[in-house]
A and B are shown apart, each in its own frame.
Chain A
Amino acid sequence: MPTRVLIPAGALGLGFDEAALWRGVKTQPDIICIDGGSTDSGPHYLGTGTSKYTKAATKAEWRLLMQARAAAGVPLVVGTAGTCGTDSTVDWMYRITCDLARELGQNLTIARLYSNQSSTALKTAYAAGRIAPLWPEQPLDEDLFDSCTNIVALAGAEQIDIALQTGADIVIAGRTTDTATIAALPLRRGDHAGAAWHGAKIGECGALCSTNPVSGVIVIEFDTQGFTVRPMAEGARCTPQLVAAHMLYENADPNILHEPGGYLDVGNARYRQADETSVTVTGAEWHPARYTVKLEGARLAGYQSCTLVLLRDPHYVKNAATWCARIESRLRDEIRGRMGLSPDDYVLEFRRIGQNATLGDLETARSSASEVGILMVATAADQAVAREIAKLANPYLLHFPLRADEPQVTFAFPFSPAEWDRGAVYEFCLHHVLGLEDPMQVFDLRVDEVAHG
């Protein structure tokens, strides 16, 4: 049965064209799906179990989507709720939804899908050989599971389908693959499996596959042969080139996409302009495989303090690398002598903004900038130590001369105090899959009725 999926944007919190949303509702979609997160903004969000986007932006956009859902009379699904898709951000999204249900006077069945994993269960699975590395392989031992503040498994279309089968008006899913929410209903209704996954990948970034990426809203119609993608913004067009190129985006292999129950191969896909604005795609193949879910973990890497000093003196700009190297050497001596720390107790970095701050050792260009910013980053096991290191650097960054016999030099600090604390910093540490007998084995589902109508 043809299935029409309305995708309002690449992520909740990014914004979308409201007129295009209502144009999408008029196409009579069968479901509205939006992604709520990604690892792309770094490990902080998974480490802390918090959202990158503000509650205000999320609530304002979710209000429109809840109104669109009520008007269309179809389910609304958010995947990877609250950036990282931990249990805490699923509940955060649930509270926002309950507030809006009250404000909008809506009666709702709300399903929550939880993706957090217990380290105890993962240790058992690891011992049983059910956890396998992905490429590029990252180190793993039993202790790593306990060191994570959050571990999530990426749910696929199967778990989303089960959540939809509860009759939920709204599904708030924890960590899912980017494609799972979009592929679930077409798969349930017997549309072409290759097309369901391929269309889901093309649609997961909203209107990025069109000539008006920021407008967000697209509608994808799936059937037993393929799918057709259509942008909803006034004047926006999809072209075969733009649609095909989207498989490249944030994907290591341009033809293959791995999902929990198999993989998609688009090597033989055909793209044609269906009408002025839409593109029809056929020929993608789905290859079922053993059921595995990807794991993501984040753990505390330390506490950080930073300081920034600016060099405008041309001689010091030219010799900034030498200046930093000499200061670093002196500072390391002082950290050992005055603080009693060994080099293993801290991480110290000097990043020369204007010279190598973006690419570090990989930089190949020579800078001709008239000024350089020296961003010094100190990381240690606790905040007080990191801050002490940053403060210990201050006299050097203020007055350190390249030649001992030159008159006193002084450099520019933009802030007082010169140092600032960045707090706890996290790191990603799992790049593995977990084999499952049953897709729901490591996910939990909760369904609530909310009545305000």
Chain B
Amino acid sequence: MARLGEIAGKIRSKNAGPFTLTIDIFCEEAERFATICSALSTARVAKLYRQKEEDVMRFELPRLNVLKFSMPRPTIQGSLKDRDMHASQWAWILSELDLNI
């Protein structure tokens, strides 16, 4: 078992407009990129952020060694129950996720 954040480099979350959350996992080199892509399923990411799997877009970018996910924002930016205006801290629950490797 290893946490995603211990294998990847920087993991960043951000708004992509007020209604969409986007998360970039910078894997830094090809081997770690391949490891993370095979160990991290879209279903697990969807479950972590309580989204339907079909609503989570997955992009594997080998040129940058980046795995990216975009999904509806769990709370709309700035709505009454929103707690993170820039969606910048949501990456941490993904960073702390245990991968079975």
Q: Is B100 an interface residue (CB 8 A)?
A: no
CB-CB contacts of B34-76 with A at 8 A, as 1s and 0s? Answer: 0000000000000011100001010101011010101010111
Known: A42-B85, A250-B22, A358-B89. A364 touches B77 (CB 8 A): no
Residue from the set B18, B79, B90 with the largest chain A CB neighbour count within 10 Å:
B18
Bound-complex Cα distance A241 to B86 (A) = 24
Bound-complex Cα distance A140 to B1 (A) = 46
Please tell me if the beta carbons of B63 and A428 are within 8 angstroms of each other in the complex: no
Q: How far is the CB of B69 from chain A (nearest CB, A)?
A: 10
How many B residues, CB 8 Å from partner?
A: 41
Query: Which of A67-75, A98-106, A251-259 lies at the interface?
Result: A251-259
Bound-complex Cα distance A310 to B20 (A) = 33
Please tell me if the beta carbons of B16 and A359 are within 8 angstroms of each other in the complex: no
Measured as residues with beta carbon below 8 angstroms from the partner, the interface class of chain A is 35 or more
**What residues of A have a CB within 8 angstroms of the CB of B55 in the complex?**
136
Known: A252-B22, A427-B80. A241 touches B64 (CB 8 A): yes
Known: A241-B64, A250-B16. A379 touches B93 (CB 8 A): no
Please tell me if the beta carbons of B19 and A301 are within 8 angstroms of each other in the complex: no
Known: A43-B18, A136-B72, A431-B19. A349 touches B81 (CB 8 A): yes
Q: Is B6 an interface residue (CB 8 A)?
A: no
**What residues of B have a CB within 8 angstroms of the CB of A347 in the complex?**
80-81
**What residues of B have a CB within 8 angstroms of the CB of A428 in the complex?**
18-19, 76-79
| Residues of A participating in the B interface, judged by any CB pair closer than 8 Å | 39-44, 134, 136, 138, 241, 244-245, 248-255, 301-302, 347, 349, 351, 357-365, 377, 379, 425-428, 431
| Residues of B participating in the A interface, judged by any CB pair closer than 8 Å | 14-20, 22, 24, 26, 48-50, 55, 57, 59, 61, 63-64, 66, 68, 70, 72, 74-81, 83-86, 89-90, 92-93, 96-97
Q: Beyond A39-B17, A431-B18, list 20 extra A-B contacts (CB 8 Å).
A: A39-B15, A39-B18, A42-B78, A44-B78, A136-B55, A138-B19, A241-B64, A249-B14, A250-B15, A250-B16, A250-B22, A347-B80, A349-B80, A358-B84, A359-B84, A365-B96, A379-B80, A427-B79, A428-B76, A428-B78
Please list 30 pairs of residues, one from A and one from B, whose beta carbons are closer than 8 Å in the complex, sorted by A's number. Answer: A40-B85, A40-B86, A41-B85, A43-B78, A134-B19, A136-B20, A136-B55, A245-B26, A245-B64, A248-B64, A249-B14, A250-B16, A252-B17, A252-B70, A253-B59, A254-B59, A254-B61, A301-B79, A301-B80, A357-B83, A358-B84, A359-B90, A362-B50, A362-B93, A363-B93, A364-B96, A365-B93, A425-B80, A427-B76, A428-B19
